């Protein structure tokens, strides 16, 4: 029995290693974006869904209004999602600068308020290209022109762009930044391998006509989350090869890690809940194999206290996992200029399976709290 468990565990770790080597190839397949001088003509609608963001929303709006892109070619639409603080009041102060405010006023409870907010904004959007970001994000002045230049050069239907954590205040937040860099890298690598699987709605662009043609969020609106990944899957299915990743530091939007473990777990449960809607069986199979690989590492670590022979299996699994994660993360962290976080990887590689196993189960069952509301 021990021999079978050992062989199965090593096999799972080898599959995980091969997967990360494959994804590393996908990341390297993505060329660093080179900005070209092109006459700006594309009209853009930037959309933000905001709920109780009075402490950050003004900073985000200010950053967007400072973009080095013709003011006549972009509009900012902010949707207030039933905020109970001064969010709507702050947004309204920017009306004289062209910022449009929409207030959701549904009398009946919804499960997907964010999708509703984005869909309502798209109805009045005049842009050819929709760009979504979050109310707590920051961006440099070249963010918008970089994404538009990338779109003009490649004419993708949907463009995923990088997101990164910054301004960490604790060791826990630094660990999150490292793990989040891994997730953003995985999404980009999937696109590089022509197998788009994940993206982040804090920095996502897509053509308005494609959104309308595919029925918007119809068919994926029963989940609170998924305005990014599940839409990505719809576009990838309808238009194979039409997804791009803007691999440019200038295209990054920055946001903050969660301040405590409870908020972190709620966020990851929300992200994991989208997997029940994945239609690409290849992605599902890969996700299951990664989950099993992490499970086997923890099981062998626990059983090693009673069966010392499994300690060797645990060490082999851990070292293999650490090596391939370092191999994958090094170019990703080089790109977003955070190589200083690599010293945390031995610890993250060890503790990551603990929460990953839990989230894999909890994210696909039950409800979770999102901005003060219980959703599923």
CB 175 within 8 A of CB 166: no
Q: Exposed, middle or buried by CB within 10 Å (0-12, 13-18, 19+), for 108?
A: exposed
CB 369 within 8 A of CB 268: no
Q: How far is CA 246 from the centre of its chain?
A: 14
Confidence of residue 350 (pLDDT cuts 50, 70, 90): very high
Higher pLDDT, residue 113 or 16: 16
Instruction: Classify 260 as helix, strand or coil.
Output: coil
Over 70: is that where the pLDDT of 288 sits? yes
Confidence of residue 277 (pLDDT cuts 50, 70, 90): low
- How far apart CA 185 and CA 27 sit, in angstroms, is 7
- What is the torsion angle, in degrees rounded to the nearest 10, for the CA atoms of residue 86, residue 90, residue 95 and residue 96? 140
The per-residue pLDDT for range 51-86, each reduced to its tens digit, is 999 999 999 999 999 999 999 999 999 999 999 999
Confidence of residue 273 (pLDDT cuts 50, 70, 90): confident
User: DSSP for 322-374?
Assistant: HHHHHHHHHHHHHHTT-GGGGGGHHHHHHHHHHHHHHHHHHTTSS-EEETTEE
pLDDT at 327: 97
- Predicted TM-score of the model (pTM): 0.92
Over 80: is that where the pLDDT of 154 sits? yes
pLDDT at 276: 61
> Residues 358-364: what's their mean pLDDT?
77
The per-residue pLDDT for range 208-258, each reduced to its tens digit, is 999 999 999 988 877 777 788 999 999 999 999 999 999 999 999 999 999
Domains of the chain: 2-26+280-371 (no CATH), 32-276 (3.90.550.10)
Over 60: is that where the pLDDT of 165 sits? yes
Confidence of residue 306 (pLDDT cuts 50, 70, 90): confident
CB 44 within 8 A of CB 74: yes
User: 194 φ, ψ to 5°?
Assistant: 60, 35
Instruction: Classify 5 as helix, strand or coil.
Output: helix
């Amino acid at each position: 029995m021990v021999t079978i468990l050992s062989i199965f565990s090593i096999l799972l770790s080898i599959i995980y290693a091969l997967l990360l080597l494959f994804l590393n190839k996908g990341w390297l397949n993505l060329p660093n974006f080179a900005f070209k001088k092109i006459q700006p003509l594309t009209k853009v609608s930037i959309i933000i869904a905001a709920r109780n963001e009075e402490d950050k929303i003004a900073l985000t709006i200010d950053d967007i209004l400072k973009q080095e892109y013709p003011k006549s070619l972009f509009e900012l639409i902010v949707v207030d999602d039933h905020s109970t603080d001064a969010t709507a009041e702050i947004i309204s102060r920017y009306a004289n600068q062209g910022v449009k405010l929409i207030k959701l006023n549904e009398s009946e409870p919804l499960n997907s308020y964010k999708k509703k907010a984005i869909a309502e904004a798209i109805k009045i959007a005049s842009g050819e290209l929709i760009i979504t970001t979050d109310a707590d994000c920051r961006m440099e002045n070249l963010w918008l022109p970089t994404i538009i230049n990338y779109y003009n050069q490649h004419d993708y239907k949907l463009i995923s762009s990088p997101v990164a954590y910054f301004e960490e205040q604790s060791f826990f937040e630094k660990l999150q930044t490292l793990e989040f860099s891994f997730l953003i890298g995985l999404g980009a690598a999937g696109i590089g391998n022509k197998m788009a699987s994940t993206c982040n709605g804090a920095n996502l662009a897509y053509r308005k006509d494609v959104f309308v043609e595919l029925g918007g969020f119809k068919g994926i609106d029963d989940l609170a989350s998924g305005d990014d990944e599940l839409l990505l899957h719809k576009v990838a299915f309808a238009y194979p090869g039409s997804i791009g990743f803007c691999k440019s530091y200038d295209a990054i939007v920055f946001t903050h890690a969660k301040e405590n473990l409870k908020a972190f777990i709620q966020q990851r449960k929300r992200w994991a809940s989208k997997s029940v809607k994945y239609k690409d069986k290849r992605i599902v199979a890969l996700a299951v194999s990664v989950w099993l690989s992490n499970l086997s590492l923890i099981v062998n670590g626990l059983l090693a206290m009673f069966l010392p022979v499994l300690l060797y299996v645990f060490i082999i699994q851990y070292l293999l996992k650490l090596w391939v994660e370092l191999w994958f993360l090094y170019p990703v962290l080089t790109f977003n200029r955070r190589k200083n976080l690599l010293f945390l990887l031995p610890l993250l590689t060890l503790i990551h399976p603990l929460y990953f196993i839990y989230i894999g189960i909890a994210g696909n069952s039950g409800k979770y709290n999102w901005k003060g509301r219980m959703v599923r």
